[in-house]
Structure 1
Amino acid sequence: MTGNSHVVVIGGGYAGVMAANRMTMRDDVTVTLINPRPDLVHRVRLHQLVGGSDDAVVAYRDVLAGRVRLVVDTVTRIDAAERSVTLASGGTLDYDYLIYAVGSGSAEPSVPGAVEFARPLATLEEAQRLRAVLDATPATAPVTVVGAGPTGIETAAELAERGRRVTLVCGGVLGPYLHTRGRRSVAKRLAELGVTVVDGSGAKVTGVTRHAVRLADGRELPSEVTVWTVGFGVPDLAARSGLSTDAVGRLLTDETLTSVDDARIVAAGDSAAPSGQALRMSCLNASPLGARAADTLLSRLAGEQPDHLHQGFYAQCISLGRSAGIYQFANRSDAAVWLHIGAGPGARIKELVCRKIPQHLSGEARKPGSYRLHRMPGGVAKRRELLRAHPAEEPASADRAV
């Protein structure tokens, strides 16, 4: 393929920045990154923003390649036929190839009162608003965190470590991803911090009011500030643009991360659903998927067959305040195993992970093509096993004419 190609990346999170940086490997490619904010949101530190120990942002000048043009705006529509995107500011941008990396945010809660009285925590703006509310609330006021995944656990621990009266409502089990041993370790640390953990079948939230959280078993928990960390949703940009999505709204792709509708569009990060079997929404998968999406386009530009997706390493890392944490190991099916590292060593590993994410991005900015974690051996057989067990409709060929 000859001539200059323009690649537009929608979304400046971990996946989008990794993909944009990697595309600068070719001198005949120009890259535009469109993002609604002028800085990278360091999402794995949002709970620290709420607790006051970090601002959870990284300047793009520190992680984005100099050849990548940053446009601070929001894409409102993708016109695949015209190969253009419409911006909220009113303009349009043409592209030759598009990388769809819009990420994820808070899922719209269906529980009565949650929209009005609970505070979500999936975006920078939500975390900033929650921080302001907490700053204006007496330290002795009861705080209820709903949702016992990583975000809920981390937020509960962070606030309790700073002297807040925190109740963590699980809606089921504490840390559903964790192995039983890891769950016990987390429960012990939360107890040490004074967090009241409400779990079990009766711990499902049925209503939220201005000053309380109601549970399925009839209990009513006093709550001056209710933090909502239940589930993630994705922007509906792909669906609004007439592109095929899964039931959640993620862009449907084949195993090369290419849209089933258009070979010039690839997806990465939380908003991608390869073969209808999306990877777990996490920072662990975001950067590798960004690199894989870029590699797909780079292969096409070189006239080569793109590699299929595989992920050879899984784990979950959770902070439990500033002095403790847990690193939960998992197998290649992304299921937690008995092995974990907790307490102080777990906290140090978590901090190392948080530091490494922007380092990986800046490393790719300085030397595009240097990131290799998405090419770790293993994972291919497990991915094939998953696809055989959960077959999706056969997508159109990724090698159709472009």
Structure 2
Amino acid sequence: MFRALIPLATEFERLWGYNRAAPPSEKKPNVLVVGYGWAGRAFCENIDKSKYDVNVISPTPNFLNTPKLVQFPRIGYPRNLLAYNVVPVTGMLTEVVPIEKKILMKTGIYRPYDYLVLAVGSVPNTFGIKGAETCHFLKTLHDFGELKQLMRIGGNEKKSFEVIGAGPTGVEVAFELAESGSRVKLVEAGADILGGWSEVTRQCIRKELKEAGIELLVGCAVKEIGADVIYTSTGSLVRNNTIWTSGVKAPDFVSRGGFNKVGPQLQVANMNSVFAIGDIVAGPPGKGHGPPTAQNAVQQGKFLASYFNNDFAAEHPPYKYNEFCKILHTKDSIYVEYDGTTFIMPKMFGWILDKFIY
């Protein structure tokens, strides 16, 4: 019976052009995309594959939806495969050799390209704080897998966590941990949570944090993290399970090679065939190309695909980030800031918002 299905599968591939194992055509330029988060996926889904062969270098052959990883320890992580007509290569990049148009993989193998798109995302920024490297980080599927395992250890025993950083990720993680029955301290160096959000939203979130039993410590900058204690600007805290969400930065090889310095078309300075999108080119107004958010990454990926599809036309408009809204998930609600107004929605509408915005 299964053999009878093989011709049907072959016909499906022929009609829909879905063949991961197909070798790149020599007639089309080879586009190598490194990373498959929001930016990489948006680029791959929108580039004209009748013009380009697209290969993706990624540690995992799945779309990495980092915002949804926050929910992973509790509900599991949905597997999202790569876009159609994209050839996945599981591996990690260690070096770019732009003069020779090739990259070096962690395995020691070089891979050539005609065009290179760096969408590697960001890494945690510990700001040189001693001991911060011993914290749990939340950037990869492996990180969240470790957290899930940690939450299982001890069975029903109530665990204690310290979440460093009260930005959107830190706040959402704190709610997820509290919902699992853990004791949570949310530590923020600034005077308040959620910098850049409206006072209306912050006031509502502070109330929800209190109702969820989450202890909020603001104006409490971490100075050093020891094995059993966290030293702060206001004293010290007993250390249990510490999660670091206090900032991100571009990977060292990106900064060292200047790959985060791009022009208006997201092309790396002085490198005609290399482009960069996503968190690695994010930054404040005048110093970057929008915030390190999924919304910005998707816009950049679509923009760059359009630039490729239009054959790098000189009249192609420069990239400009347009923020549609900000979204924050709490225990029972979704907060949406749009045009200066805060809307509170039931969590059941989350998937609709994702489809509408991304």
- Tell whether the structures are fold-level matches, with TM greater than 0.5: yes
The answer on 1:28 being equivalent to 2:46 is no
CA displacement at 1:225 relative to structure 2: 0.9
Is the 8 Å Cα contact of residues 108 and 233 (structure 1) preserved in structure 2?
no
Given that 1:267 and 1:293 are in contact with CA atoms closer than 8 Å, whether structure 2 keeps it comes out as no
Equivalent in 223, 227, 252 of residue 210 of structure 1: 227
Structure 1 SS opposite 2:290: coil
Pairs aligned (count):
329
In structure 1, what is the equivalent of residue 79 of structure 2?
58
Hey, which bits of structure 1, 4+ residues long, moved more than 6 A? none
Give secondary structure in 2 for the equivalent of 1:174: coil
Matched-pair contact (CA < 8 Å) for 2:289–2:321 = no
| Match of residue 272 from structure 1 | 281
Q: Which residue of 1 aligns with 2:297?
A: 286
Other-structure match for 2:161: 143
What SS is found at the alignment partner of 1:151?
A: helix
| Cα distance in 2 between the residues matched to 1:309 and 1:121 | 29
Question: For residue 18 of structure 1, what is the aligned residue in structure 2?
Answer: 42
Taking a change above 3 Å as real, the CA distance of residues 92 and 356 of structure 1, as seen in their structure-2 partners, is farther
What is the aligned partner in structure 2 of residue 297 from structure 1?
A: 308
- Once the two structures are TM-superposed, the CA of residue 26 in structure 1 deviates from its matched residue by 4.4
Residue aligning to 1:318: 328
Asked if the contact 1:168–1:197 (Cα under 8 Å) also holds between the matched residues in 2, the reply is: yes
Structure 1 counterpart of 2:90, which letter? V
Equivalent residue letter for 1:310: K
Which residue is equivalent to 1:45?
68
Post-superposition shift, 1:109?
4.7
- On the 8 A contact 1:45/1:54 being kept in 2, the answer is no
Deviation, structure 1 residue 102: 0.8
2:15 is aligned to: none
Contact kept in structure 2, 1:44 and 1:354, CA below 8 Å: no
Q: Does the alignment pair 1:160 with 2:178?
A: yes
Which one of the candidate residues 194, 205, 217 is aligned to 1:198? 217
Contact conserved, 2:249 with 2:280, CA < 8 A, in 1?
no
User: Relative to 1, partners in 2 of residues 1:132 and 1:12: Cα closer, same or farther, differing over 3 Å?
Assistant: same
Distance 2:176 2:255 in 1: 37
Contact 1:47/1:151 (8 A) holds in 2: yes
Shift of 1:257: 0.8
| Whole-Å separation in 1 of the counterparts to 2:262 and 2:172 | 32
Would the aligned equivalents of 1:100 and 1:267 in 2 still touch at CA under 8 Å?
yes
Unaligned stretches of 5+ residues in structure 2: 1-25
Query: What are the Cα deviations for residues 363-394 of structure 1, in whole angstroms up to 9, with x where unaligned?
Result: xxxxxxxxxxxxxxxxxxxxxxxxxxxxxxxx
Do the aligned residues in 2 keep the contact of 1:9 with 1:100 (CA within 8 Å)? yes
Correspondence for 1:378? none
| 2:131 equivalent in structure 1 | 113
Q: Distance in 2 between matches of 1:112 and 1:228?
A: 13
Q: What do the CA deviations read for 1:131-188 (whole angstroms, capped 9, x no partner)?
A: 2122215643321111000111001011112211111111111111211111001111
Corresponding residue SS for 2:181? coil
Question: Do the aligned residues in 1 keep the contact of 2:282 with 2:291 (CA within 8 Å)?
Answer: no
Give identity over the alignment, percent. Answer: 23
Distance 2:120 2:140 in 1: 12
TM-score normalised by L of structure 1 = 0.76
Whether the aligned pair in 2 keeps the contact of 1:257 and 1:266 (CA below 8 Å) is yes
**CA separation in 2, counterparts of 1:3 and 1:142?**
58
Q: 2:113 aligns with which of 85, 95, 110?
A: 95
Q: Distance in 2 between matches of 1:99 and 1:110?
A: 29
Describe the superposition over 1:84-110 as per-residue Cα deviations: whole angstroms up to 9, x where unpaired.
112122222221111111111212352
Task: Give the secondary-structure state (helix, strand or coil) at the position aligned to 1:166.
Answer: strand
2:237 pairs with one of 202, 221, 226: 221
**DSSP-derived class of the 2:79 partner:** strand
Three-state SS of the structure 2 residue aligned to 1:257 is coil
- Shift of the 239–185 alpha-carbon distance from structure 1 to 2, 3 Å rule, reads closer
Q: In the alignment, which residue of structure 1 is the partner of 2:100?
A: 82
Structure 2 counterpart SS, 1:59: coil
Name which of structure 1's ranges 99-108 and 142-151 shifts more when overlaid on structure 2. Answer: 99-108
Corresponding residue SS for 2:42 = helix
Range with greater deviation from structure 2 (150-159 or 28-37): 28-37
Change in Cα spacing, 1:161 to 1:155, as seen in structure 2 (3 Å) is same
Supply the distance in 2 between the matched residues of 1:354 and 1:44 (Cα, whole angstroms): 11
Cα distance change of structure 1 residues 143 and 183 upon mapping to structure 2, 3 Å threshold: same
Partner secondary structure for residue 78 of structure 1: strand
Give the distance between the partners of 2:49 and 2:162, measured in 1 at CA.
50
Q: Distance in 2 between matches of 1:96 and 1:226?
A: 44
Partner of 1:366: none
8 Å Cα contact 2:126/2:132 also seen in 1: no
SS of 2:71's equivalent in the other structure is helix
Counterparts of 1:211 and 1:329, CA distance in 2: 42
- 8 Å CA contact 2:289–2:320 kept in 1: the answer is no
Alignment match, 1:368? none
CA distance in 1 between counterparts of 2:268 and 2:349 reads 36
